[in-house]
Copies of this chain bind each other. A is one copy, B any other.
Amino acid sequence: MRGQAVHHLVVETRGKGLTEITRPIARWLTDQGIATGILTVFCRHTSASLIIQENADPDVRRDLEVFFERIAPESGSYIHQTEGADDMPAHIRTALTETQLAIPVEAGAMALGAWQGIYLFEHRRAPHRREVVLHLIGE
């Protein structure tokens, strides 16, 4: 089949931290029946973002969270505090990571490396319902 497909993936987060979304994306991709193409993953928020990181040792995720706490701390002095102390740090962490990822598709699957997982990075303290748009073009 030649063509395109679009899907809105909903991700329920539990507050700050990384939620792996590789599986639901891979499952949707398989259903499209496209062998070769380009998959775009797009996060519709400015206080949550996307990153590709190691999917093996969970300590990597913990260290990443600690790093981003250090570089953009809630204790910093920000003008924008509309939604609390975690508001502006969330925007900064989003700016430092990704809002979108473009991933080649080969033989019907994402061309990820063996240790790569796709994560939604929640930057707010409270759990949120996040929306990620998946777009696929190929044949």
Q: How many residues of A contact B (CB 8 A)?
A: 55
Identify A138's interface contact among B64, B91, B105, B137, CB under 8 A. Answer: B137
B44 touches A60 (CB 8 A): no
Residues of B within 8 A of A54 (CB): 46, 91
Residues of B within 8 A of A78 (CB): 59, 63
B99 touches A96 (CB 8 A): no
Does A37 reach chain B (CB closer than 8 Å)?
A: yes
Can you add 20 more A-B contacts, CB < 8 Å, to A46-B53, A106-B133, A137-B137? A6-B104, A6-B111, A38-B135, A40-B104, A42-B104, A44-B113, A45-B115, A46-B115, A51-B95, A53-B94, A53-B95, A59-B79, A60-B80, A62-B80, A63-B80, A63-B88, A98-B98, A99-B116, A113-B131, A137-B138
